[in-house]
Amino acid sequence: MSEKVTEFLNLLERVDPESPPIVKVEIFNFIRSFFSESGEDVSLIEKVCAKLSITRGTFDLWLESPELIYGIENLHRYLKPNSWLRHYLDYTSGHEAPEEFHLWVGMTILGSILRRKVWFDNVYYRLFPNLYTVLISPPAVCKKSTCIDIGIRLLRAAVSDIAIVSEKITPEAIFVALAKPKAEKKPDSDGTIIRTNAHGLFNAPELTVFLGRESYNEGLIILLTRLYDCPDVIEYSTRVKGTLHLKDVFVSLLGATTPSEIAKAIPESATGGGFISRVTFISRDVPTRMFAFPSMSDPTLRELLVARLTEISAHFAGGFVLGSEAQEWYKKFYKEHKENLSKKSAAAERQPDLLLKVAMILCASEDIGLDITVDVLKRAQKIVLSVEKGVEGTLKMISASERGRSTELVIAVIKKNGGTIKHSTLQKKVYGKLNRNDLLLCLDTLRDAEIIEKCKGEGGSYYKLVKE
């Protein structure tokens, strides 16, 4: 037994409070095995607590439930031990970005690898495993860009036929980027460029730059909305390259932004066209783990992750199905979802589709075939619901920021008009920028804040600027 103690103490010397969770889990697995054979050792407990800077209470919790070591998110419990996603979270456990960020980046990368090779047939349309994922946190807090870059580098190492689009983009540039690999120009088609299997991933670590900070690019938002649904065929006429004709489209998106920039990246006016409901927003205000010096628990994990991605890309294919039990579970979930939809925002509209996308990705990650079981559906649901509050909060930020810009517009118009303005005149000056309801909402907000006051004169009611 003394040899085992020596082995453990040598292992303990290599860890500290900032060691990745997977290393701490290994420590506590060893302790549990040791205590079961020889009984509790108080001196050993004290050594562990001192080395990891934890209390005896925390020690007891971690000993009983090592999964708690991964933090408050504890998303590991929804993943099978030997799955690709579980290995991915282990691989990134020494990086400061929240586990939640890493999980959704990992799922987006794995979905990109699957492409149109897998699908779920929903009778009137096919559902593919692509995701639009956007990470949100204050600047330099949760390492968003690095988190995305980790996943992108694994994708590049595993496959070469997925176009990765990273720069500030336009609708035409999207078509050109997706048409580049293996594009063929038909001599008899009057300049039409056909690209079959137009697979791409939009890498947008600065989402406002990607979409265009200066103004809302309505055409771009509409196009991204259409591309999310992976159309069989889509065309775009360019001024220089002629008509670009894309077939079997499959695109994913990995983006990041800050709370203050989110409304600039995605204006509230984009909610009505379905774009918002297609994006999964993962929002965190503070980091859940801190490492002064990020570490990698096992460098060979990267080789394993790349190899398995390559294998999944080559061999995992076919249409997913729900067995009878899974169908009954999904019917119940769908009914409850529809009944509660009025209580939720527009972002929840496509939650059933997102659940099935995540379920497909879990099946591929765990290499369990094309049969989506009840267990997979339940775990997919937990993952989807874990980000629901963040999505709702993001929509509120977009709405509030958009409203703030609207009120600033009204103030500027009144000020330019000499500090007073008739209601009819104000309506004319903001025409095309604010609809009637938005204008009334702005006026109510400004009156409540005592920035303007409503007055009555001979020519009717008017608004007077009280303070800026």
pLDDT band at 463; cut points 50, 70, 90:
confident
CB 171 within 8 A of CB 210: no
CATH number, domain 75-385, options 3.40.50.300, 3.30.70.100, 2.40.420.20, 3.30.70.890: 3.40.50.300
Bridge partners (DSSP) of residue 133 are: 254, 280
Radius of gyration of the chain from Cα atoms? 27
Q: What is the dihedral of CA 38, 39, 43, 45, to 10 degrees?
A: 110
pLDDT at 216 over 50: no
> For position 370, what pLDDT does the model report?
97
171 burial via Cβ count (<10 Å: 0-12, 13-18, 19+): middle
Q: Which two tokens stand for residue 14?
A: 């290599």
CA atoms within 13 A on the CB side of 369: 6
* Cα 351 to the center of its chain, rounded Å: 14
Instruction: Label residue 429 by pLDDT band (50, 70, 90).
Output: confident
Mean pLDDT computed over every residue of the chain: 81
Any alpha helices (H) in 316-368, and if so which ranges? 324-340, 351-366
| Burial classification of residue 160, based on how many CB atoms lie within 10 Å of its CB (0-12 exposed, 13-18 middle, 19 or more buried) | exposed
pLDDT for 297 equals 57
What distance in Å separates the CA atoms of residue 277 and residue 118, rounded to the nearest whole number?
22
How confident is the model at residue 309, as a pLDDT? 97
Q: Quick check: helix, strand or coil at residue 210?
A: helix
CA distance 392 to 395: 5
Is 96's pLDDT higher than 50?
yes
Whole-number pLDDT of residue 214: 46
Distance of alpha carbon 155 from alpha carbon 105, whole angstroms: 11
Over range 163-174, report the average pLDDT. 81
Q: Is the pLDDT of residue 4 over 90?
A: no
Q: What is the rounded CA–CA span in Å between residue 452 and residue 214?
A: 29
DSSP character for 318?
E
- Residues 271-316: pLDDT tens digits? 556 888 899 988 877 666 666 677 665 678 899 999 999 999 999 9
- pLDDT category of residue 118 using cuts at 50, 70 and 90: very high
Give dist(CA 96, CA 143) in Å, integer. 7
Going from N- to C-terminal start, the domains of the chain cover 2-70, 75-385, 400-465
For residue 385, how many other CB atoms are within 10 A of its CB?
11
Is pTM beyond 0.85 here?
Answer: no
Indicate if the alpha-carbon torsion angle 340, 341, 342, 347 is positive or negative: positive
CATH number of 400-465: 1.10.10.10
Q: Is the pLDDT of residue 373 over 50?
A: yes
463 phi/psi in degrees, rounded to 5: -115, 140
Q: How many CB atoms lie within 10 A of CB 102?
A: 25
Among 114-123, 282-291, 395-404, the minimum mean pLDDT is found in: 395-404
Rounded Cα distance between 454 and 316, Å, is 66
- Tell me how far CA of residue 425 lies from CA of 163, 420, 434, 461, in angstroms: 51, 10, 13, 11
pLDDT value, residue 13: 82
At position 161, the amino acid (one-letter code) is D
Q: Is 355 left (phi over 0), alpha (psi -120 to 50) or beta?
A: alpha
Taking the C-alpha atoms of residue 175 and residue 397, their distance in angstroms, rounded to an integer, is 31
Note whether 48 and 27 are within 8 A (CB).
yes
